[in-house]
Amino acid sequence: MGLNTFTAAVHITPVVIKTFLKHSKRKGQHFVDGDEEVATDDIFFDEAFHIVKAFLELGTENTLESFQSFTNTHVPAPPWAAVAPVLIPLKSCNNAADILINWFGPEELKDVVGGERWWQVRGLDGIEGEWITEKEYLSSSTPDNGKGVDWATKLIKQMDHLDSVMLYVPGGGYFFGSINTHRYQIIRYARKMHGRAFVVNYRKAPQYPWPCPLHDVLASYLYLIQPPEGTAHKPVDPSKIVFAGDSAGGGLCISALTVIRDMGLPMPAGAVLISPWVDLTHSFPSVMQNITTDIIPPHGFMAKPSPVWPIDPVPPPEGRVIRTTTSPPPKPGHADNLKSQDGADGVVPAGGHVESQREMLASGKDMVSSSSNGSSESPQDSSGSDQAGQSSGLQAGHGDGEGSETQEPSDSDRQTRSSTQANGQADTKTVETDDTDLKEPKPPKVLMHDPDEIPLELRAQIQIYATNEQLTHPLVSPILQGSLGNLCPLYILVGDAEVLRDEGIYLAHRAAHPDEYPTRQGALKEGRRQKENVEKFRTPTKVHLQAYDGMCHVLTVFTFTNSAKYAYRSIAHFIKHVTTSAREEVTLNPFPELQSPSTFDDEDDYDDPRRRRPRLQVVETTPDDAAGKTKVRPDIDSPTENNLYSRNKAITVKEVTRGLTDLMPERSDGSAQQSREDLPDVLMIRERIDIHGKVRPMEPKEELVALQLKPSEIGVIKEDPCRRWATGQVIWDKKFKRSAESVLRKRQKNEARALALLADARSQGLKLADDGSIVDLAVSPSRMSIPSGHREIQSDRRWGPLDLEYESPPPSAICKRRDTPEALALLKKSIYYTAPATHRTIPNLKMSQTIRAVFDTNDHTTQPPQQSGSEQQRMRHAPIHGISIWTGLLTLFMRKSSQKARDGRKKARDAAKDAHEKLPTSPSH
């Protein structure tokens, strides 16, 4: 049946009931034990947390395509929001592609990316996007008197007067999520910052892996600041734009910012990064420590096998993770130099000695030196045990499925390593040097806890977004950027209970203190720009870092919590401050908390959408609001988050005056810059937020575990995360064994259909420029065979699936596949409807093809076939969708939470009044 509203409701309803029944008992036990209050003591957060967690786990039980389609289904916006859909044109896409091509350079494009064409292939004629704001912010004037202007263009022009623009990049693990899953949050941002937001529905992996999403994010930025002719909106000044994104969206934002910096493009005013995913190797401790307290599935994002994913639905006989059988870095190559190696290099013959991790690291210099040349002989020991690489091998798919892939080394393995350990002692001393590159394993090998073990080796792609060889590229894992200096001001928010907490904290400190937190040497060694950037971009980036107690991944999802309410308010102030203040002022002070008076006055802001029309006003607000003495109409929400922001602002100012924040380095003359208010030139504000939304200074850097990691430990694949993924993959391989076998048969059928499609197209007159009949692409394409309607050879530069003969895209990329229904839809559209200029003709469809399209749910008889859910929104057929239900739940929780807060304040006032009345009166004299 796949993932849909019905299956989601069936799966999640028992979770809601179970959570409700357990909540009171657990909360009561906490009270009896005298435990500190935790975030899940709030019944609404407890329920919402488990709903989201259950939904994501349900997603792993279904195919990746159904997960994508469900989360990319169009749902209507609420009536108080103004939403205008657009399609970012190919011209903006091509401009962004040119920038990326220049950034990579020819060698990196070939060896790392796999070519310069494949990632520009798309099914749609542009990128889906949306302009969003509140209807009450629209200008009353109608452009061109409303004549000849469609409704979307009219809305966009009515937004043009709103200066502050948020460019939002939705998260979702780089493979799911969309405008629709985030629209509720984005409307809230637009309302609070009194501006407008532009959201990009970028292409997603695995059909469109890295760098496709990054390409689309850059294109959306260029679309805003350099709109092509005929675009509805006016050019937006970069100083009025703030990048924002959560999770994968946050990672894309920071990657895009580094490209903008490196290529000399105008930098936006700032960036808001919420739980950014910036280390795809999972090398930080919180990835394992916070599994139970986060919404992320325990084994990561598994998926039921389908034609799209995983690449190998049936695991290889030796398993997806094994004990390495090679001593030098194995095929397919090092993730640090990202160049494919000869598959024969380093393979140890049967009976040969496979080095332990200790031996590999001890011989690291030779290994690194030789591997950089792409050819080396592995050191072999003829006396090594025959079982060194076989008896201890991990046989994924064998055992009980509950960790059998983590077999202990056999006695013979230990004996073999013991015999070499004495000789390795001297070599080990060499490892403990300042050359951190010697300590870095080269993926797909895994860094082990026990240095005397033979390392694990990955035989399957572990991330959906990028291949194993690409995981340490600085635009895939931006935590490994040579420098994070010279960027726009960053506002980074992480949940203390989330798995990505540590990398968010480390990212913030790396940006603010480039010299204190250098990139490991291996990541600098082969990068075209990495070493250059270390020296070129040394100016610290100003950062505001906040860690929220008890909050999970992307805390802003839970809009009704006090933590999220403060986060939304604080983000709005940040955006308004950096987009409305002078550039010089923002350069000196990007922190609105240190600005007096406030950049913009807080208007009454209520979270209950039912009461937002008409706007209701607070009757009276006094300085005693903090004590619960706010006088409001009894039927509207109290603006407590405004008071909370003001209180936290005062605390932040105290942090600065007490020297609890990081300051900019002194100038060469020994003096420090001063702000207008005579406050020091603050470089970094580091704070924690409790579950009630109250600020306190973050502990010293020395007490943060994430900051104690050595550079050589960051951006490497480690044993624990690898075993966690492998355990989950074994379980999924067993659970969906029949489905995986069925997938292989489906792929064969799709390949046969693709061959038939191409044969039909050729027989109907398809001609390509590479055929030799027409060579000059500058000549206007012949339109003799182009029928009327939707069919057209594109005038803008565009590549199609038939233009990739010399390209080497990742194996999951849709552009060069012929074994999935989505790949067939892309191929058919590029041949019969929107052909690139390399196609000289557009053939006519056969009658048999039209008849087959009638019975194909993914096809259409007169229009282009629907494209992949990783790119194109789905139109819903059911009267209600799961995303709408979730939005309704958030609204309910918001209203109930506000009512609960009001009741609590009333009880507190009544109790204080009763206590005051019971006090003995003083005797009169």
Residue 595 lies in a domain: yes
Q: 315-329, 481-495, 663-677: lowest mean pLDDT where?
A: 663-677
Q: How confident is the model at residue 905 (pLDDT cuts 50, 70, 90)?
A: low
Q: How confident is the model at residue 328 (pLDDT cuts 50, 70, 90)?
A: low
Rounded distance, CA 925 to CA 242, Å?
Answer: 67
Residues 281/251, Cβ–Cβ less than 8 Å: no
Owning domain of residue 360 = 330-462+713-735
Residue 395 phi/psi, 5-degree rounding, is -100, 80
Residues 869/831, Cβ–Cβ less than 8 Å: no
Q: Which residues touch 914 (CB under 8 Å, ≥6 apart)?
A: none
- 683 with 754, same domain? no
The pLDDT of residue 438 is above 90: no
Q: How confident is the model at residue 554 (pLDDT cuts 50, 70, 90)?
A: very high
**Which pLDDT belongs to residue 173?**
96
- 542 with 682, same domain? yes
Q: 41-45, 130-134, 374-378, 508-512: lowest mean pLDDT where?
A: 374-378
Q: What Cα–Cα distance (Å) separates residue 489 from each residue in 243, 287, 481, 510?
A: 10, 27, 17, 13
- 554 with 684, same domain? yes
User: Bigger pLDDT: 902 or 346?
Assistant: 902
Q: Calculate the CA 367 to chain-centre distance.
A: 34
Helix or strand run (H / E) with residue 545: strand 543-548
User: Half-sphere exposure (CA, 13 Å, Cβ side) for 807?
Assistant: 23
The pLDDT tens digits of the residues spanning 587-609 come to 999 999 888 665 555 444 444 44
Mean pLDDT, residues 17-38 taken together: 82
Q: 59-63, 227-231, 820-824, 839-843: lowest mean pLDDT where?
A: 839-843
- 731 with 756, same domain? no
| Percent of the chain with pLDDT strictly greater than 70 | 75
Structure tokens at 505: 């904290």
Mean pLDDT, residues 237-242 taken together: 98
**Which pLDDT belongs to residue 910?**
64
The pLDDT tens digits of the residues spanning 337-350 come to 445 444 444 455 55
Name the DSSP class of 107: H
User: Half-sphere exposure (CA, 13 Å, Cβ side) for 678?
Assistant: 0
Rounded distance, CA 22 to CA 14, Å?
Answer: 12
Structure tokens at 250: 């946050």
Q: 417-421, 600-604, 685-689, 822-826: lowest mean pLDDT where?
A: 417-421
The pLDDT of residue 783 is above 50: no
User: What's 597's domain CATH number?
Assistant: 3.40.50.1820
The pLDDT of residue 918 is above 70: no
**Which contacts of 38-44 are long-range, i.e. CB under 8 A and separated by 24 or more positions?**
38/550, 38/691, 39/497, 39/549, 39/550, 39/551, 39/561, 39/563, 39/691, 40/550, 42/561, 42/691, 42/897, 44/560, 44/561, 44/893, 44/896, 44/897
Rounded to 5°, angle at Cα 714 from 713 and 715? 125
Place of tokens 């999972």: 282
Helix ranges (DSSP H) in 229-322: 248-262, 286-289
Q: Coil, helix or strand for 704?
A: coil
- 135 with 211, same domain? yes
Structure tokens at 10: 């069936």
Residue 356 lies in a domain: yes
Rounded distance, CA 469 to CA 467, Å?
Answer: 5
Q: Coil, helix or strand for 92?
A: helix
Q: Coil, helix or strand for 199?
A: strand
Q: Which of 66, 220, 247, 385 is catalytic?
A: 247
Q: 187-201, 203-217, 232-246, 357-371: lowest mean pLDDT where?
A: 357-371
Residues 193/164, Cβ–Cβ less than 8 Å: yes
Residue 145 lies in a domain: yes
Rounded distance, CA 808 to CA 470, Å?
Answer: 14
Residues 760/851, Cβ–Cβ less than 8 Å: no
User: Bigger pLDDT: 522 or 403?
Assistant: 522
Residues 427/362, Cβ–Cβ less than 8 Å: yes
Q: Quick one: the chain helix, strand, coil %, rounded to 5?
A: 45, 10, 45
State the distance between the two ends of the chain, measured CA to CA, in whole angstroms.
Answer: 85
Other beta carbons within 10 angstroms of residue 299's beta carbon come to 18
Rounded distance, CA 706 to CA 501, Å?
Answer: 9
Q: Which residues touch 151 (CB under 8 Å, ≥6 apart)?
A: 84
- 888 with 745, same domain? no
Residue 914 lies in a domain: no
Torsion sign, CA atoms 666, 670, 673, 679: positive
Residue 533 phi/psi, 5-degree rounding, is -70, -30
Residues 626/643, Cβ–Cβ less than 8 Å: yes
Q: What Cα–Cα distance (Å) separates residue 361 from each residue in 180, 252, 346?
A: 48, 33, 15
Rounded distance, CA 672 to CA 681, Å?
Answer: 7
**Which contacts of 147-152 are long-range, i.e. CB under 8 A and separated by 24 or more positions?**
151/84, 152/84, 152/85, 152/86, 152/232
Structure tokens at 72: 């990319």
Rounded distance, CA 89 to CA 101, Å?
Answer: 19
Q: 63-77, 200-214, 623-637: lowest mean pLDDT where?
A: 623-637
The pLDDT of residue 769 is above 50: yes
Q: How confident is the model at residue 32 (pLDDT cuts 50, 70, 90)?
A: confident
Residues 686/661, Cβ–Cβ less than 8 Å: yes
Helix ranges (DSSP H) in 323-444: 357-362, 364-371, 411-431
Mean pLDDT, residues 164-173 taken together: 98
Q: 380-394, 497-511, 524-538: lowest mean pLDDT where?
A: 380-394
Place of tokens 């028992």: 14
**Which pLDDT belongs to residue 138?**
95
Name the DSSP class of 487: P
DSSP E strand boundaries for 642-781: 662-663, 682-689, 695-697
Residues 115/109, Cβ–Cβ less than 8 Å: yes
**Which pLDDT belongs to residue 720?**
95
- 439 with 336, same domain? yes
My answer on whether omega of the bond before 317 falls inside 30° of 0, hence cis, is no
Residues paired with residue 84 on neighbouring β-strands, in sequence order: 131
- 500 with 543, same domain? yes
The pLDDT tens digits of the residues spanning 169-220 come to 999 999 999 999 999 999 999 999 999 999 999 999 999 999 999 999 999 9
Q: What Cα–Cα distance (Å) separates residue 670 from each residue in 163, 587, 679?
A: 38, 20, 17
Residue 112 lies in a domain: no
Structure tokens at 709: 């990691």
**Which pLDDT belongs to residue 598?**
56
Other beta carbons within 10 angstroms of residue 52's beta carbon come to 18
The pLDDT of residue 548 is above 70: yes
Rounded distance, CA 157 to CA 703, Å?
Answer: 51
**Which pLDDT belongs to residue 380?**
34
Mean pLDDT, residues 741-749 taken together: 97
Residue 101 lies in a domain: no
Name the DSSP class of 304: B
Residue 247 a catalytic site member:
yes
CA-atom Rg of the chain in angstroms: 29
Q: How many domains are there within the chain?
A: 4
Mean pLDDT, residues 377-392 taken together: 34
Residues 472/336, Cβ–Cβ less than 8 Å: yes
Q: How confident is the model at residue 878 (pLDDT cuts 50, 70, 90)?
A: low
- 794 with 869, same domain? yes
Residues 717/470, Cβ–Cβ less than 8 Å: no
Mean pLDDT, residues 333-337 taken together: 42
Helix or strand run (H / E) with residue 246: strand 241-246
Residue 803 lies in a domain: yes
Structure tokens at 171: 């998260």
Place of tokens 């480039």: 514
Q: Which residues touch 233 (CB under 8 Å, ≥6 apart)?
A: 131, 156, 157, 159, 160, 224, 227
The pLDDT of residue 374 is above 70: no
- 729 with 744, same domain? no
- 423 with 499, same domain? no
Residues 247/500, Cβ–Cβ less than 8 Å: yes
- 255 with 351, same domain? no
Other beta carbons within 10 angstroms of residue 781's beta carbon come to 22
Residue 174 lies in a domain: yes
Q: 5-14, 114-123, 159-168, 297-306: lowest mean pLDDT where?
A: 5-14
Rounded distance, CA 625 to CA 695, Å?
Answer: 18
Q: How confident is the model at residue 451 (pLDDT cuts 50, 70, 90)?
A: confident
Residues 238/266, Cβ–Cβ less than 8 Å: yes
Mean pLDDT over each residue of the chain, to the nearest integer: 81
Amino acid at 434: D
Residues 762/332, Cβ–Cβ less than 8 Å: no
User: Bigger pLDDT: 259 or 885?
Assistant: 259
Mean pLDDT, residues 789-802 taken together: 79
